Chains A and B, each alone.
Chain A
Amino acid sequence: MTYLAYAVVAWVFAVGIYGAIVSRNLIHLALCLTVTQSSTYILLLTLGYRHGGRAPIFKGVELGTAAVDPVVQSLTLTDVVVSVTVIALILALALDVHRQSGSVDPDEISTLNG
């Protein structure tokens, strides 16, 4: 069980980057980056998990009850916001590219080389 969670993280991370590499559509590429970012969420939340732990909300709950790690949850929240913003920028760039050249294929738009 231990390795399953971490194996999922490694798999999602690798497959996201692979998808970005072989992508032929900038929008697909942006979404592959989202997939890679999801692996960081999975890792952070997995690291904070405690068997039998509740959510770190103590309304009506006695202090000292076993709870999962709240720090990684706040890190994941920041991570999600960051990911949304970067993907929004890349999608806006993709829209601009489409308007300029009619294509969203990364290979077809390369004018800068050397």
Chain B
Amino acid sequence: MSWALPLPVAIPLIAAALLVVGGTVLPRRAQDAIAIAAAATATAFALAILQASERHDVLHWFGGWHPHNGLALGISFTVDPLGAGMAALACGLDLLALVYSWTFMRRQSQTFDVLMLTFGGAMAGFALTGDIFNMFVWFELMGVSAYALAGFMVEELGPLQGAINFAVTNTVGAYMILMGIALLYARTDALNLAQIGRTLERRPADRLVIVAFVLIVTGLMVKAAIVPFHFWLADAHAASPAPVCMLLSGAMVELGIFFIARVYWTVFAGPLQVHGSGVRDVLVGLGVTTALVGAAMCFLQRHLKRLLAYSTISHAGVMLTGVALLDPHSLAGVANLVLAHGLLKGGLFLICGIVLVELRHIDELQVRGAGRRLPGTGVLWLLGTVGLIGIPPLGVFLAHQLLDEGARAQGFGWLAAVGAVASGVCAGSMLRAGARVFLGWGAAADALLTPEPDEHAPERDVSLRLMATVAGVAILLGLAAALAPGLEARTRMAAERFADTSAYRAAVLHGAAHGDAAAHLPHSVLRIDTGSALYGLAALAIAVATAAFGLWHRRLPSGLRRAGSRTLWPPATVVRDAHSGIVGDYLVWLSAGTLAVAAVWALTL
């Protein structure tokens, strides 16, 4: 299966290039069809690779440059099930987005198709690579495609501002990663992840390794939208068209989290393992902060896409805590969360696109009640939201269960409560928005929510049925993902292999087969742990309470409201005003955050 590894990257890229060559000659429909065919082929190959990698790691050395006495000469794709799964998710979301855009993006559809294909190919490359500089190249290609796609709607200032904030902050993040790569190269003279790890393991972590770790993890945290590096995400989502948002929230942010785990386990686990608690505590702290800040900001939004964007930030925080526990059980939970969240959130963004086209606004209050004529879409929104709460056995439940168990095993049982609160508040905000838009419930005006510039609605000449079908497919897949036979056991096996540094190294540098080739893949049905089920129901209760509060807080007794506004409102305004939309502020936060993380780790590692 090694021959298939380059294909999820090569096929979208060559299709993109050929679209530009034939751009003036081919009719628009043919171009869209080529793009969809390329994305479908890439997804198919990615799934095939996933299946092959479950038995043992699959390797591909580009140019045929195999390692020379354990020294890697060329670039490798080193694929284990988690990496292949990420690539398959990214290609799959790309495919769904392109099908959705068959009618949604009429103008400039060729440029859109080209950039979506390069975005998809880059994401696949990022997930599959085993070389740190190759990762940087795909990071930048993802970035460039995304910045251009974010600036798609150039007619208004809001989207342009979002695109600039996105481009500038992520570019600085990329420079940090590059500095980190240079530092690692200085020490180890290698760019292959396994080889760097092997060289670093010989000595305990010193200043250079710590600074390299800080720089690389911080740069990846910018991509993963972790507080305080997260400010760009909501602006970018407000700027981008709905299918692009699907990819940003569903795959790009998650790839940042994924590579933090990858780079830790392959490169830094050796020297930093003795200081595991130092690494863990900082990352757990950042993850928890992100989960709570994201949830709070999510509640304060009226712009539907920004609302969903902050919910992504909150979920990214939960994912980071899962990775931060540095343990395969929690890592399996993160993998499941990425899968379910990617599909569900992607579907919800596609519904935003439907709302914008049919109801002509994206502001919750402005379209209040107008969604009553889109009952099917409303039901899908409800299903997507329910999926993100974590009620057994649907949607993100399996993920939360694995995360809770992993946290409890490490003495971090309180993380389960944080996860429940964060997902509850976010889902509650989404329920509130859904109720307002699709049912017309709630007050017509709400001073709590921040008004944002509205979005320019595209032409009405779209196929509602196609768009709703694609959104429905995404949401139903996300809901049902946890029910796939044996998923829990298989992700846990995959996570065990992901965390097995020495076996990875042996496979890459010496060609040893990694993985149990004879193992029978499990097909067990989902089990439900009562503790996690209770947390899921608690999250549901929080969600309903949040939604009710959001819709009808005016009807609360005035004494209660005054007490609430005096205690809760000032800190909420401080957090909200920090999101100023000005790129200079964002860069200050980025620099200060990097410095703080560096200071803590310099002292504790």
Q: Would you give the 0/1 interface string for B567-596, flagging 1 where the beta carbon is closer than 8 Å to chain A?
A: 000000000110111111001100100000
B182 near A93 (CB under 8 angstroms)? no
Residues of chain A within 8 A (CB-CB) of B160 are 93, 96-97, 100, 109
Complex: A43 Cα to B183 Cα, angstroms: 9
Most chain A CB within 10 A, of B137, B164, B450, B452, is at B164
Complex: A101 Cα to B155 Cα, angstroms: 11
B157 at the interface (CB under 8 A from A): yes
Residues of chain A within 8 A (CB-CB) of B579 are 113-114
B276 at the interface (CB under 8 A from A): no
Q: Which residues of A contact B (CB under 8 A)?
A: 13, 17, 20-23, 26, 29, 33, 36-37, 39-40, 43-44, 47, 71-72, 75, 78-79, 82, 85-86, 89-90, 92-94, 96-97, 100-101, 106-107, 109-114
Known: A43-B179, A96-B154. A89 touches B137 (CB 8 A): no
B172 at the interface (CB under 8 A from A): yes
A110 near B580 (CB under 8 angstroms)? yes
Complex: A99 Cα to B396 Cα, angstroms: 45
B235 at the interface (CB under 8 A from A): yes
Closest B-chain residue to A75, C-beta based? B133
A20 near B587 (CB under 8 angstroms)? yes
A29 near B583 (CB under 8 angstroms)? yes
A16 to chain B, nearest CB (A): 9
B485 at the interface (CB under 8 A from A): no
B175 near A37 (CB under 8 angstroms)? yes
B581 near A110 (CB under 8 angstroms)? yes
Closest B-chain residue to A16, C-beta based? B175
Closest B-chain residue to A72, C-beta based? B185
Known: A93-B151, A106-B582. A111 touches B157 (CB 8 A): yes
Most chain A CB within 10 A, of B151, B155, B577, is at B151
B167 near A23 (CB under 8 angstroms)? no
Complex: A37 Cα to B136 Cα, angstroms: 14
B168 near A29 (CB under 8 angstroms)? yes
Complex: A21 Cα to B576 Cα, angstroms: 20
B122 to chain A, nearest CB (A): 12
Closest B-chain residue to A40, C-beta based? B178
Residues of chain B within 8 A (CB-CB) of A29 are 168, 583
B interface residues, tally (CB under 8 Å): 49
Residues of chain B within 8 A (CB-CB) of A89 are 144, 147-148, 151, 167
A78 near B137 (CB under 8 angstroms)? yes
Known: A21-B591, A22-B584, A112-B161. A33 touches B300 (CB 8 A): no
B156 at the interface (CB under 8 A from A): yes
B28 to chain A, nearest CB (A): 24
Closest A-chain residue to B594, C-beta based? A17
Known: A40-B179, A101-B157, A106-B584. A112 touches B452 (CB 8 A): yes
Residues of chain A within 8 A (CB-CB) of B502 are none
B186 at the interface (CB under 8 A from A): yes
B171 at the interface (CB under 8 A from A): yes
Contact of B581 among A37, A47, A75, A113 (CB under 8 A): A113
Known: A40-B182, A72-B185, A110-B582. A17 touches B144 (CB 8 A): no
Q: Would you give the 0/1 interface string for B119-152, flagging 1 where the beta carbon is closer than 8 Å to chain A?
A: 0000000000000010001001001100110010
Complex: A110 Cα to B164 Cα, angstroms: 11
Complex: A22 Cα to B587 Cα, angstroms: 10
Most chain A CB within 10 A, of B162, B182, B588, is at B182
Given contacts A112-B452, A113-B581, 15 further A-B pairs with CB under 8 A are A29-B583, A39-B175, A44-B185, A47-B185, A75-B133, A86-B143, A93-B151, A93-B167, A96-B151, A100-B155, A107-B582, A109-B161, A110-B580, A112-B162, A113-B579
Residues of chain B within 8 A (CB-CB) of A33 are 168, 171-172
B576 near A90 (CB under 8 angstroms)? no
Complex: A43 Cα to B158 Cα, angstroms: 37
Residues of chain B within 8 A (CB-CB) of A110 are 161, 580-582
B163 at the interface (CB under 8 A from A): yes
Residues of chain A within 8 A (CB-CB) of B452 are 111-114
B511 at the interface (CB under 8 A from A): no
Closest B-chain residue to A20, C-beta based? B587
B175 near A114 (CB under 8 angstroms)? no
Closest A-chain residue to B139, C-beta based? A82
B238 at the interface (CB under 8 A from A): yes
Complex: A86 Cα to B154 Cα, angstroms: 18
Residues of chain A within 8 A (CB-CB) of B157 are 97, 100-101, 109, 111
Closest A-chain residue to B155, C-beta based? A100
A86 near B144 (CB under 8 angstroms)? yes
B129 to chain A, nearest CB (A): 14
Complex: A47 Cα to B191 Cα, angstroms: 14
Complex: A39 Cα to B182 Cα, angstroms: 11
A21 near B588 (CB under 8 angstroms)? yes
B238 near A90 (CB under 8 angstroms)? no
Residues of chain A within 8 A (CB-CB) of B581 are 110-113
B164 near A97 (CB under 8 angstroms)? yes
Complex: A103 Cα to B312 Cα, angstroms: 32
Q: Would you give the 0/1 interface string for B175-191, flagging 1 where the beta carbon is closer than 8 Å to chain A?
A: 10011001001100001
Closest B-chain residue to A37, C-beta based? B175
Complex: A71 Cα to B181 Cα, angstroms: 13
A26 near B164 (CB under 8 angstroms)? yes
B453 at the interface (CB under 8 A from A): yes
Contact of A97 among B155, B161, B301 (CB under 8 A): B161
A90 near B164 (CB under 8 angstroms)? yes
Contact of B161 among A20, A23, A43, A111 (CB under 8 A): A111
B137 to chain A, nearest CB (A): 7
B140 near A86 (CB under 8 angstroms)? yes
A50 to chain B, nearest CB (A): 13
Residues of chain A within 8 A (CB-CB) of B580 are 110, 113
Known: A47-B186, A90-B168. A17 touches B300 (CB 8 A): no
Known: A29-B583, A85-B144. A43 touches B175 (CB 8 A): no
A103 to chain B, nearest CB (A): 10
Complex: A94 Cα to B154 Cα, angstroms: 11
A36 near B577 (CB under 8 angstroms)? no
B587 near A114 (CB under 8 angstroms)? no
Complex: A90 Cα to B580 Cα, angstroms: 20
- Can you pick out 21 interface pairs between chain A and chain B where the beta carbons lie within 8 Å of each other? A20-B168, A20-B172, A20-B584, A20-B587, A29-B583, A44-B182, A72-B185, A89-B144, A89-B148, A93-B147, A93-B164, A100-B157, A106-B164, A109-B160, A109-B161, A110-B161, A111-B158, A112-B161, A113-B580, A114-B577, A114-B579
